[in-house]
Amino acid sequence: MNRPSILLIDDEAPLHQSLRKFFEEEYVFHSAYSGLEGLEKARILKPNLILLDLVLPKMSGLEVLRKLMESRNQTPVIIVSGYGKIDSAVQTIKLGAADYLEKPVQNQKLKEMVKKFLYVVPSGQVLSVRRHIIGESPQIKKIWNLIDTYGLTELPILLEGPTGTGKELFSKAIHEISNRRNNPFVAIDCSTLPESLIEGELFGFEKGAFTGANASKPGRIEWANGGTLFLDEITNIPLAQQAKLLRMIQEQKISPLGGKREKSLDIRFVCATNIDIREAIRKGTFREDLYYRLGGLVIKLPPLIERQGDIELLIRYFLEKYRLILKKEQLEVSDGAMKRLLSHSWPGNVRELAHAMYAAVAVAERIILPEHFEQVQDSLPLSPVTKFSQTNEKVELSLSLACDLSKKIDLKRIKEKAAAEIEKKIVMAIRKKHFFNQTQLAQYLGIDPKTLRGINCGVDPEN
């Protein structure tokens, strides 16, 4: 059987010598010292893999890559660059590079990467996760295009989007499409880790590292060695641990709490956040350098209200799913119930819709009616979502409070009572002007409908 061939296009002779010695037992190794020579050898030799430096004499690596892509070259190209800039890596991958590796080259890591790209992935492979991500809208198709393009690379990916938009599902899809698919996928919700224990949970600790550490414990990060680590709600990691995480990503080594030696790791990072991470950087709660390390590619997941074409698909999907689970195969959704569901703004996104459908299927007998969604009525308007305009209209308030000066005055209690009366008058004035029902009023005020119930202002919860 013929050995696979590798072409290195780089102007550094020592690198050629080093890699030739390292690879020659398993692969046929070819050398080119300029862009023009590399293009010619790629055309004639038709190697199975090309290693390409970005900085070359006369013709840059980017130009070489462009010409390779223009010639419809099907050979995977791994960029080997000494610049270590994420934006350069993104640019090359957009042009068609399969992956990138920073100099100085770690031979073993390069060897593992080479094996991944010379391994033939069976055609027609269907991702198991993809079946559970429902959507045909342009927004979802754009996300799949990004995942299909960048999933095979080692580029770190940051998923941004509101709660309930499927960040963990998409992170699993990235793992499944990658060359790490047969290795661990480890998800860590950083918002659930106690701040006092977060370092030990993430990085592990050695016996005796602190009081109560009676035995060594590997960190959760180590569980992902060789695979993909998904860090959900990454902005919840405190700054001190962010610095340690940054070093770990740069060095691909982990140092347990109380440990005296570092452990080498091989991990692909996918992270997620439901807040504006740039705002967190401005506030000083998230490190900018860590953001650039984790956000090699940023994928924004849209809220469900921006995916109007997908809502009915999701309703049908959850109907089928839950009527099978609850053994109600004949159950259908009435036109009235469908209209109500389609008119909702879904602030909780796909997760909220799933919960609403499960509850409705559980209580309905033969057909799901609008009243089967009364349990979520506080967040479910009966009419399409209203866009409220913000105006400079003023509300004149007059306040009358009696105070018995012959007794001890409790200023705190008077202040609370006055604030409650003012709150009540403002809410009543807004409701009277706009004829809002309880849900619309809560939406306008930006508060939870349950909070509105606590304001004694004559709001009828049924209106």
For residue 435, being part of any structural domain is answered with yes
Higher pLDDT pick, 345 / 451? 345
Listed as own residue / partner, the contacts of 366-369 with beta carbons closer than 8 Å and 24 or more positions apart are 366/330, 366/331, 367/331, 367/332, 367/333, 367/334, 368/319, 368/331, 368/332, 368/333, 368/334, 368/337, 369/334, 369/336, 369/337
Does one domain contain both 258 and 321? no
Note whether 405 and 339 are same-domain residues.
no
> Is residue 386 situated within a structural domain?
no
Is residue 17 predicted with pLDDT exceeding 50? Answer: yes
Reference 298, options 156, 154, 178; nearest CA is 156
23 and 159 share a domain? no
Residue 375 lies in a domain: yes
Name the domain boundary from 255, 272, 300.
300
At which of 242, 275, 300 does a domain end?
300
Rounded mean pLDDT of 437-460?
A: 58
Residue 122: the pLDDT is 39
Domain harbouring 324, CATH code: 1.10.8.60
Predicted local confidence at residue 314, as pLDDT: 94
Structural domain span for residue 320: 312-379
**Contact 230/242 with Cβ under 8 angstroms?**
no
Of 3-7, 15-19, 165-169, the least confident: 3-7
The β-bridge partners of 29 are 6
**Is residue 249 a part of any domain in this protein?**
yes
Residue 259 within any structural domain of the chain: yes
253 within 8 A of 263, measured Cβ to Cβ: yes
Q: Are 224 and 85 in the same domain?
A: no
Sheet arrangement for strand 5-9: 28-32, 5-9, 49-52, 77-81, 99-102
Q: What whole-number percentage of the chain has pLDDT above 70?
A: 81
Beta bridge partners of 81: 102
Structure tokens at 454: 């606590």
Do residues 234 and 177 both lie within one domain? yes
Domain holding 41: CATH number?
3.40.50.2300
pLDDT at residue 2 above 60? no
What are the tens digits of pLDDT across the range 272-297? 999 889 989 999 999 999 999 998 89
Task: For residue 186, list its beta bridge partners.
Answer: 229
Least confident of 6-20, 178-192, 373-387: 373-387
Whether residues 357 and 416 fall in one domain:
no
Read off the tokens for 201.
């949970």
Tally of domains in the chain: 4
Say which DSSP state 275 is in: S
Q: Which range has the worst mean pLDDT, 282-291, 316-325, 349-358, 395-404?
A: 395-404
Specify whether 160 is located in the same domain as 256. Answer: yes
